[in-house]
Structure 1
């Protein structure tokens, strides 16, 4: 082989090697750089998110003593769905204070799609003077519980209802003509 042929072969080999590097190695390096860049950006975003969460947590820790009282008040708005004894005791105490006789039927806890919280429905039958009944409703509305009064039906008691021969319920005892009987539902929101 002559020197010229060796030089030509060396140049061809160099060109082939250069093309090989350009075609195969450089794109691979660029793809690795892009992949590493994406991972770095992703980790920076996660770090920024974590720092924001940490700042929010620190802010909440500093604000918590101020809002603790309000959170406790909000918690009182909702009754315990498993044991609604406190709410029923409240109803009985309020009805006694207002001189309203009550008959309470408790429903099952439910979650209605349009409501923001789960609830329990109570069916209540009552009898009293009209003014006492209005006082009772007013106290219910002003109570610390989150309630919604539904399906209210009020009717005046007639003399016939009070003197019927069949056994009267305890609800109608010691009432006079002109007093009212009411049936209504209460939706009480639960925890």
Structure 2
């Protein structure tokens, strides 16, 4: 009887140990499965992101292929900031058409808050007839470049005071037969 009890106790202890080891093994397997499932979810999310990025790149490529020429024409609106030679040649062409000689003062490339694109400030000064000045202003406003005119100053420097008036006062403005004016135009030109 004693041996039988001992045998039952031993079998009970062995069963408890096997059960304990079984529980530990089941818990390890369960944790491994949960960890693998989490890694699988993470991989699926990453795969979905990569697939979306691939589709975006494909859409961008097809867009560029369809609209490539339009991109080039939009890019042509902006002046090269390092060497604005094309823009200066444009200004010289405008001056040549009007018969005026420009004094061109370029500024540095700047990017200010509130502006969509970086820009350079330019100022041109010259003398010409008022009609030619208006043509120059029209040419600038309708130029092939993206320009914002900031300020225009026009002075009729050929006015002379009438006899008997102190110099500097021109009441009944003497005639300026040529209509010659001195002008200065300051503007921003947007750059790449």
Does 2:51 align with 1:36? no
Q: 2:5 maps to what in 1?
A: 4
| Paired residue total | 176
TM normalised by structure 1 equals 0.77
2:185 alignment partner, SS class: strand
Q: 1:154 maps to what in 2?
A: 154
Q: Note the C-alpha offset of 1:16.
A: 4.8
Q: 2:188 maps to what in 1?
A: 187
Q: Note the C-alpha offset of 1:96.
A: 1.8
Q: Give the superposed CA RMSD.
A: 2.6
1:31-50 deviations in Å (ceiling 9; x for gaps) = 33333222222222222222
Q: 2:62 maps to what in 1?
A: 62
CA gap 1:185/1:29 in 2 versus in 1, 3 angstroms:
farther
* Partner Cα separation in structure 2 for residue 154 and residue 25 of structure 1: 93
1:151-177 deviations in Å (ceiling 9; x for gaps) = 3322322335xxxxxxxxxxxxxx976
1:37-73 deviations in Å (ceiling 9; x for gaps) = 2222222222222222333333344343320110110
Q: Is the 8 A contact 1:152 1:182 kept in 2?
A: yes
* Higher Rg of the two aligned structures: 2
Q: 1:110 maps to what in 2?
A: 110
1:111-146 deviations in Å (ceiling 9; x for gaps) = 223222222111222322222222212221211211
Q: 2:136 maps to what in 1?
A: 136
Greater Cα shift, 139-148 or 51-60: 51-60
Q: Is the 8 A contact 1:158 1:177 kept in 2?
A: no
Q: Is the 8 A contact 2:129 2:178 kept in 1?
A: no
Query: Structure 2: which 5+ runs fail to align?
Result: 161-175
Q: Which runs of 4+ in 1 moved over 6 A?
A: none
Q: 2:52 maps to what in 1?
A: 52
TM normalised by structure 2 equals 0.76
Q: Note the C-alpha offset of 1:110.
A: 1.8
* Partner Cα separation in structure 1 for residue 79 and residue 11 of structure 2: 90
CA gap 1:10/1:105 in 2 versus in 1, 3 angstroms:
same
Query: Structure 1: which 5+ runs fail to align?
Result: 161-174
* Partner Cα separation in structure 2 for residue 126 and residue 14 of structure 1: 107
